[in-house]
Structure formats: C-alpha cells, structure tokens
Structure 1
C-alpha cells in the first residue's frame, strides 16, 4: 500500500526526489512517498522545506540540512535573505540565507 511514483505505466523504484500531483508537492524515496520525512530537499526550482513528506509552502523560519542552517520563507530557502531570524528563543544572524552566528 502507499502512494507511488509511476513512470511509463510502471512504478519507478529508483526514483528519489520531489514530485507534484493535484494534492501538492511530495518527497518520493525509492519510488514511494515518504510520509515520515521532514527536512530540506532540492529540485530544479530550489531547496524546499518538507514536513511529513509534503512541501510546506507556509513555513517561514530556520531549517537544517547537511550544509548548515538556512532561512526558509514560504517553504523555500531564501538565498537573498540577510538579517536575523529566531529559533526557539535564540536569534541568529543570516547572510545569503545561511545562518552565520548566534
């Protein structure tokens, strides 16, 4: 059971990435939507905040991936953002979308 990525009439078990359907944008891993995934995922349109397997276009705040902490606005990393952002009561300096210092 589950939601699968179908390509050419067959499940593509090798596909990992973001896909869209009428219900939103989803993170697919090994051909199946990973409803347990929360994190940042990249595609040709940028880096996106995924929560529970789905892009959260309403998310604005900080998010972490293997490259560091990033400022996310409207669900997408804003690489043009320079300023400050708070996370759990701590304020961080952000340059080019990336957290620089506390």
Structure 2
C-alpha cells in the first residue's frame, strides 16, 4: 500500500526544441570524371554555386581526395547527392555535419 505522504515527481512541461542536424554532401576523387564535368555538375545542381567556387571545390576533390560541396537539411542533401551521383560523380555517403 503506497504511503500517502509520497509525492510523485511532477512531469516537466517544458519542451526542448532541438534543430534537425545538417548533412554534408561530399564528392570523392576518382580516375574517370574530368575537372570540367565535376565543376559543371556542381554549378548545375548545387544552388548558388558559382564557377569560381565550383572550380575551387573540383581542385580540392582532386588534390585532397574529397570536398564538402554543400551542407544543409537532410532532404535537400539527399536530392543533391542523388543528382550528382546520377551524373557519375563518386559520392561519399551523407554525413551529419
């Protein structure tokens, strides 16, 4: 039989809002895509991508082996990842940022 003086802890009514994580779209270096193809794909599919940034990222892919080409919400990251992969680019799996 419960003790009448025992009080159950009250539930917290405070809601903690956590932002959804961002995801990284990463292009990997390979031996068959040309610099021009990689840069053109980045310009075509990544919003706001300029030719200068696309070429800089393409060089990073070549010399460093990979480059993060976009970071943002999961749904958009999945779309850009799929579009770039469909164009033949070698893609790393999506990662949380």
**TM class, shorter-length:** under 0.3
Higher strand proportion = 1
Quick one: higher RCO (CA 8 Å, sep 6+), 1 or 2? 2
Higher helix proportion = 2
Query: Greater Rg, structure 1 or structure 2?
Result: 2
Provide TM-score, normalisation by structure 2.
Answer: 0.22
